[in-house]
Amino acid sequence: MKTIIKYYGKYTFYIIASLLFLTGEAVCELQLPELMSKIVSDGIGRADMGQIWHFGWQMLVVSLIACVCAVAVGFFSSKVAACVSRDLRSDMFKKVMDFANEEYNKFSVSSLITRSTNDITQIQMLTILFLRLIMFAPIMGVGGAIKAVEKSSGISALAIVIAVAIAIVIALIILALAVVQPKFMKMQKQIDAVNQIANDELNGMLVIRAFNTQSHEEQRFDKANKDLTDTSLFTSRMMALLMPVMTVVMNGVMLAIVWIFSYKIENIEQVSDMMAFMQYSLQVIMSFMMISMIFIILPRAVVSIRRVSEVLSMNISIKNAEGKDKPTGVRFKGDVKFENVSYGYGGDAYAVEDISFEAKSGEVTALIGSTGSGKSTIVNLIPRLMDATKGRVTIDGIDVKDINLKDLRDNIGFVPQKNTLFSGTVASNIGYGLETPDADVLEKSADIAQASEFINSSADGMEREIAQGGSNVSGGQKQRIAIARALSKNSPIFIFDDSFSALDFKTDAKLRMALGEEMADATVIIVAQRVGTIKNADSIVVLDDGKIAGIGKHEDLLRTCPTYLDIAKSQLSEEELGL
């Protein structure tokens, strides 16, 4: 709650302006019945046309002022609401950008999307309503009540009518609240569910078609959709029902007033009093209704406020160490060292345990092991996509946790295992990490990554369109663009997580050769499945089930490390093994 409230601080001026105009509007509204009763008593009652014109003009002016005030209130309150929700959205986006693995796992992507759209819209609506009513209703309620007493000609039965009407209004609202409220709470979750399934299905379109599960997926979506529809129909119906019931109450009040007055009225003054009294009592009842409306909207908005502040107040686990907030633009030599590092993805068991090895600059260090042996986990620790649970990772002897995050990541060219291209062009993707992409750099990176051939084969070349997620290029082409993207940063450390697997052997070999020539000084860390890819590495780290099974060169490992020998045997012929 507090996290959200501070967002309004910046717009205090607009809030105050809106409240002032609201007060103006309420005061004007309170004048109107008074003026009307004057027209009746002084104008019509005395057949005095002059008086009718006199008060008529006054009514017109007061109405116009009220109108201007109402417009101003609308302007300022909308401004506050729109600005606050803009700030919330942008802060939420920034926050989510800083999320590490751990935080992402706490929310689903679809929930994050609902939170930054629908939930913020709820807050926006509440803000407008709140600013509209918060001053208006009390002024109208109290002011109306005072004026009504003045006009009641001392009839006490009238007070009872109003009291009963207000009691009925409140009872109805409480009833509606009790029935509808639990549904409102459910609604946000159901919106999450619909988004989640829609998201799943749109992303998995190809799989759904290939497995012919359209009808199953349709049912799944239909169910979520129907749940949401049922809930919102129910709540809308209840709310819709409330309106005519309220109208009945209002008209009942009018009827009762006329009926009670009918016993008393002797002259035109009392008729005009009655008319004014009717208006004022309506204003009083209306103000109670408005306040109750807030109670109906509030709980749903409170759910939204909670959901939004949950994201905003999330503790970011991976952040700059104290005093390292400013990037210094350092360039490291690039010696990466793991010292007894363990990492677990929540739960008790470590995914990787007691990992110690060194990747020196100017050398190629390879990680090999079966799937799930922890290779990706290890390399993700270097750019701090996760933080080591135990032990430490250092670059040039400095713990990565003590390096400014921007500096750290600027020093690493990373090709993740699950790489993504962004919609744009080949050039915009390769130059993604650069502030000012230079055509020569892009070309050279593409050359080393062996991507030039297919880039130049299309008429558009570097300007070839890339669709969202890189869906219009092949797996191997996507990998090569991702490699070029990492290379274009020309950083001292390069990490390739299984980046060569979608390449044919020839391209794989050519790429490694070009890498060796062009990146001679860099620290290159290659995660691979194929022994052939890493045979010539300066040092090979063999992983087995999250632990290191051996470190050394290809020939040594063949002799000393049974795990490596097994992998090698399954891939290479006897001659290639040289045994």
How far apart are alpha carbons 65 and 22 in whole angstroms?
Answer: 11
Q: Which region, judged by CB under 5 A, interacts with Mg ion, from 263-271, 288-296, 372-380, 388-396?
A: 372-380
- Single-letter residue type at 401: K
Token pair for 225 = 């959709």
Give strand pairing partners of 540.
366, 552
Choice between 372 and 475, CB closer to ligand ADP: 372
Choice between 203 and 214, CB closer to ligand ADP: 203
Binding of residue 417 to Mg ion (CB under 5 A): yes
Binding of residue 374 to ligand ADP (CB under 6 A): yes
Single out the residue of 276, 283, 277 nearest to residue 39, CA to CA: 276
How far apart are alpha carbons 363 and 215 in whole angstroms?
Answer: 54
Among 75, 93, 259, 345, binds ligand ADP (CB under 6 A): 345
Q: Which region, judged by CB under 6 A, interacts with ligand ADP, from 14-22, 81-89, 368-376, 532-540?
A: 368-376
In the complex, the smallest distance separating the C-beta of residue 224 from ligand ADP, rounded to whole angstroms, is 25
Choice between 368 and 395, CB closer to ligand ADP: 368
Among 50, 182, 372, 469, binds ligand ADP (CB under 6 A): 372
Q: Which region, judged by CB under 6 A, interacts with ligand ADP, from 49-57, 364-372, 449-457, 502-510?
A: 364-372
Among 156, 212, 328, 371, binds ligand ADP (CB under 6 A): 371
Cβ burial of 72 (10 Å; 0-12, 13-18, 19+) is middle
Single out the residue of 557, 498, 555, 495 nearest to residue 523, CA to CA: 495
Single out the residue of 13, 42, 111, 127 nearest to residue 77, CA to CA: 127
Q: Taking CB under 5 A as the rule, which mask of x and - marks residues 396-415 in contact with Mg ion? A: --------------------
Q: Which region, judged by CB under 6 A, interacts with ligand ADP, from 39-47, 182-190, 268-276, 371-379?
A: 371-379
Q: Which region, judged by CB under 6 A, interacts with ligand ADP, from 53-61, 148-156, 375-383, 504-512?
A: 375-383
Binding of residue 529 to Mg ion (CB under 5 A): no
In the complex, the smallest distance separating the C-beta of residue 380 from Mg ion, rounded to whole angstroms, is 9
- State how far the alpha carbon of 181 is from the alpha carbons of 111, 114, 168, 234, 286, in Å: 21, 20, 19, 11, 22
Among 33, 141, 143, 369, binds ligand ADP (CB under 6 A): 369
Helix (H) or strand (E) holding 384: none
Contact (CB, 8 A) for 405 and 320: yes
Single out the residue of 139, 88, 135 nearest to residue 307, CA to CA: 88
How far apart are alpha carbons 35 and 546 in whole angstroms?
Answer: 85
Cβ burial of 153 (10 Å; 0-12, 13-18, 19+) is middle
Binding of residue 182 to ligand ADP (CB under 6 A): no
Choice between 81 and 379, CB closer to Mg ion: 379
In the complex, the smallest distance separating the C-beta of residue 373 from Mg ion, rounded to whole angstroms, is 9
Choice between 379 and 558, CB closer to ligand ADP: 379
Among 111, 116, 361, 376, binds ligand ADP (CB under 6 A): 376
Q: Which of the residues 311 through 340 are near ligand ADP (CB under 6 A)?
A: none
Choice between 18 and 380, CB closer to Mg ion: 380
Partner that binds at residue 505, options ligand ADP, Mg ion, none, CB closer than 5 to 8 Å by kind: none
Cβ burial of 440 (10 Å; 0-12, 13-18, 19+) is exposed
In the complex, the smallest distance separating the C-beta of residue 385 from Mg ion, rounded to whole angstroms, is 12
Binding of residue 375 to ligand ADP (CB under 6 A): yes
Token pair for 488 = 């274009």
Choice between 377 and 450, CB closer to ligand ADP: 377
Number of DSSP helices (H) and strands (E) in the chain, helices first: 22, 12
Token pair for 257 = 């007033």
Single out the residue of 181, 440, 141, 426 nearest to residue 298, CA to CA: 181
Token pair for 338 = 């793991």
Cα angle: 562, vertex 564, 565; to 5 degrees: 60
Contact (CB, 8 A) for 493 and 360: no
Choice between 50 and 372, CB closer to ligand ADP: 372
How far apart are alpha carbons 382 and 527 in whole angstroms?
Answer: 13
Q: Which region, judged by CB under 6 A, interacts with ligand ADP, from 2-10, 372-380, 448-456, 460-468?
A: 372-380
Helix-strand-coil split of the chain, %, nearest 5? 65, 10, 25
Choice between 386 and 421, CB closer to ligand ADP: 386
In the complex, the smallest distance separating the C-beta of residue 68 from ligand ADP, rounded to whole angstroms, is 58
Choice between 76 and 350, CB closer to ligand ADP: 350
How far apart are alpha carbons 374 and 319 in whole angstroms?
Answer: 24
Choice between 240 and 349, CB closer to ligand ADP: 349
Among 18, 31, 373, 419, binds ligand ADP (CB under 6 A): 373
Partner that binds at residue 372, options Mg ion, ligand ADP, none, CB closer than 5 to 8 Å by kind: ligand ADP
In the complex, the smallest distance separating the C-beta of residue 306 from ligand ADP, rounded to whole angstroms, is 27
Q: Which region, judged by CB under 6 A, interacts with ligand ADP, from 169-177, 367-375, 459-467, 502-510?
A: 367-375
How far apart are alpha carbons 377 and 413 in whole angstroms?
Answer: 17
Q: Which of the residues 376 through 395 are near Mg ion (CB under 5 A)?
A: 376
Letter string b/e over residues 316-351, b meaning 16 or more CB atoms within 10 A of that residue's CB: eebebeeebeeeeeeebebbbbbbebbbbeeeeebb
Choice between 101 and 417, CB closer to Mg ion: 417
How far apart are alpha carbons 91 and 113 in whole angstroms?
Answer: 14
How far apart are alpha carbons 416 and 376 in whole angstroms?
Answer: 8
Binding of residue 110 to ligand ADP (CB under 6 A): no
Single out the residue of 333, 337, 335, 334 nearest to residue 551, CA to CA: 337
Binding of residue 127 to ligand ADP (CB under 6 A): no
Rg (alpha carbons) of the chain, rounded to whole number: 36
Choice between 115 and 375, CB closer to ligand ADP: 375
Residues at the interface with ligand ADP (CB under 6 A): 101, 345, 351, 369, 371-377
In the complex, which residues of this chain contact Mg ion (CB under 5 A)? 376, 417
